[in-house]
Amino acid sequence: MVFGDRPIKVGTPEDYVFYRDLSKTYPVAVKGEGVYVYDDSGRKYLDAMGGVCVVCLGHHVNEILATINKQFDDICFCYHKNFSNRPQSELAEHIVSMAPKGFSKVYFVSGGSEATETAMKLARDYHVQRAKPTKYKVIGRWNSYHGNTIGALSMSGDRLRRKFYDPYLLNFPHISPCYCYRCPFGMLYPDCNIQCAWELERVIKYEGPENVSAFIGEPISATFGVPIPPKEYWPIIREICDRYDILLIADEVINGFGRTGKNFAIDHWGVIPDLIATGKGISSGYTPLAAVIIHEKVVDAFEKGTKQFGHSFTYVGNPLSCAIGLAVQKYIAEHRLIERVSQLEEYFRKKIERLNELEMVGQVNGKGLLWGLEFVSSKETRALFPRNRAVSEQVDRACFKKGLITFPTVERADGERGDTLLLAPPFVIEERELDQVVEILGDAIQEVQKEALPL
């Protein structure tokens, strides 16, 4: 490709994109079909990550493409300060019908970081509307990730992502994660009495309840091995939030819209949050789209207050994006894909848990089609690999060479070390393809552990 006198060779270090990793040469994706991605050399990759927990329908679904063309003929953009639009209203109605009881409004944005940051601002404004202006702090959890904008990163507890930007971050408190495999209190369930949940009350008291606006957490954390909280965890968190007049924000950017076999992951506990931040699966990657779903008690505070929310982005409620999101959600409903995810869970569980037999695999956890593996240097002691060994990255690279897309997550076990791998395939994946995922992943792990073990 040539523009003017400058030749551009796409996908090489000579092209003009500022890539995330400037030391890496990226293959060029040219086509997606079902659960596969193809590069410009003709190589086929089994997408066991749905991009990055995004592509739930699979690639190249004709019904979605038809919606794009139809909306393109109508209108692609109108500014939300001047107009509403039908796709936005219809998608909001559909999402409210999926949400837990009591949710009544939806605020559309373009990505997950925008969604969690919007939820942070809504929580603050909710208390201001109720004449409680000192309540502004959001409590998060260590090891968590809620987005890359400054507010979202302030709520996150991901040391790797935070460390270079710490001078910019808000001074928000954090509590221990719900992580039974590596209990921060050195206890065992159920004798632990769910100390990781009750720690929220202790931190609220230290910070002063009058200063705390909200608590944020992923119902099922996708950032470090997908640990599943005990049945008591989220009900305790809900009760503490109610007691201290604090909003509960469920970060469902990854979990939501069927990824765990329920509409939203918080549904597994029957707990109703106050705000739900969503993204990724809302549009299956066919367009940038995310949203905050708002409980009627929050809406009521604005109705009784100023009726104004002083927050905005250019693409709020974009009609083209909302039309695509609506088509995606209708496709999910018509093809009963959330039920399918729930059904596939047990099949996949039986297959992937066999990887626990491998010497380097410490644990395998998952729900629906969201799964994580943690790698250890010793099963007996659960010892972590030195970070410079980059074990999860090695497994990810070995998988990629074999045509399998996975996602490594690092430094989240103790803040400095930890090796986990994430899987989140499209909802349309077949059992035989799940077999392939496990087979390729198993081969890759065995290749890496030959070099990684013994230390």
Domains of the chain: 2-60+337-452 (3.90.1150.10), 75-334 (3.40.640.10)
Query: 83 phi and psi, to 5 degrees?
Result: -140, 150
Query: 161 phi and psi, to 5 degrees?
Result: -80, -25
Instruction: Calculate mean pLDDT across residues 321-325.
Output: 97
Q: How many CB atoms lie within 10 A of CB 144?
A: 22
pTM: 0.96
Nearest residue to 435 via CA among 374, 363, 347: 347
What residues have CB less than 8 Å from 21, skipping those under 6 apart?
none
Check if the beta carbon of residue 382 is closer than 8 Å to that of residue 420: no
pLDDT tens figures, 273-316: 999 999 999 999 999 999 999 999 999 999 999 999 999 999 99
Predicted pLDDT of residue 6: 56
CA distance 232 to 158: 25
Predicted pLDDT of residue 11: 66
Predicted pLDDT of residue 453: 85
CA distance 216 to 188: 25
pLDDT tens figures, 156-206: 999 889 999 999 999 999 999 999 999 999 999 999 999 999 999 999 999
Q: How many CB atoms lie within 10 A of CB 340?
A: 18
Instruction: Calculate mean pLDDT across residues 97-123.
Output: 98
DSSP assignments along 278-312, one per residue: E-GGGTTTSS--EEEEEEHHHHHHHHHTTS-----
What residues have CB less than 8 Å from 286, skipping those under 6 apart?
57, 64, 68, 324, 328
CA-based end-to-end distance of the chain: 48
Angle at 100 between CA 98 and CA 106, to 5 degrees: 65
Quick check: 398 pLDDT over 80?
yes
CA distance 145 to 280: 14
Query: 365 phi and psi, to 5 degrees?
Result: -130, 155
Q: pLDDT class for 411, splitting at 50, 70, 90?
A: confident
Angle at 222 between CA 211 and CA 22, to 5 degrees: 100
Q: How many CB atoms lie within 10 A of CB 383?
A: 12
